[in-house]
Amino acid sequence: MTLTDREVADPDRPLEGTRWILDGIVTGDAVSSIPAGVTAAVTISNGMMAVETGCNTGSAAVVVTDTTLAIGPLGLTRKACAADAMGVEQAMATVLSGTVGYTIEADVLTLDARDAGLMLRAAS
C-alpha cells in the first residue's frame, strides 16, 4: 500500500475564482443541511464577492488575507421567496458581514463568524 499526502491527492482549491456552493449552515457546534431545492453560492474575484443566497443575488467588496475575509456591506436584490430560501439567505447575510475567518481543506471552504458559519464546497 502506498500512501499519498492529502495535499497531493486532493489539493486545496483556490479561494479566488472558485464558485463555492453552500453545503451547510453552522450555528454554535451544530451544522444544518441546506433545504432541498435551495442553491446558494459565493464567488470571490478581483476584490469582489458575488453572492447567490438561494433567493436573492448581490455582491460586496472583500479584502482577502491568508486567514480572513474583510467583507464590506452586502447589497442584495429584494425579491420575496419561500421560507426555506429566506432562511438560507438570512444565515448567509449574518455570516457575510465584517471580518470572517476562513479555512480551505481540499474542496471545502469553511467561513467562521463568531457563533455562526458556512460550509461550502467547490463547484465541480
Q: How far is CA 33 from CA 23, 82, 84, in A?
A: 7, 17, 11
Q: Is the pLDDT of residue 56 over 60?
A: yes
Question: Are the beta carbons of 57 and 38 closer than 8 angstroms?
Answer: no
Going by pLDDT thresholds of 50, 70 and 90, the confidence category of residue 41 is very high
**Sequence ranges of the domains in the chain:** 12-122
Question: Are the beta carbons of 121 and 40 closer than 8 angstroms?
Answer: no
pTM of the model: 0.91
Find residue 45's DSSP bridge partners.
48
Question: Are the beta carbons of 95 and 119 closer than 8 angstroms?
Answer: no
Q: What angle do CA 25, 51, 23 make, to 5 degrees?
A: 30
Q: How many C-beta atoms lie closer than 10 Å to residue 6's C-beta?
A: 11
Q: Which residue has the cell 476584490?
A: 47
Q: What CATH number labels 12-122? A: 2.40.128.270
- What pLDDT, in 10s, does the model give residues 89-107? 999 999 999 999 999 999 9
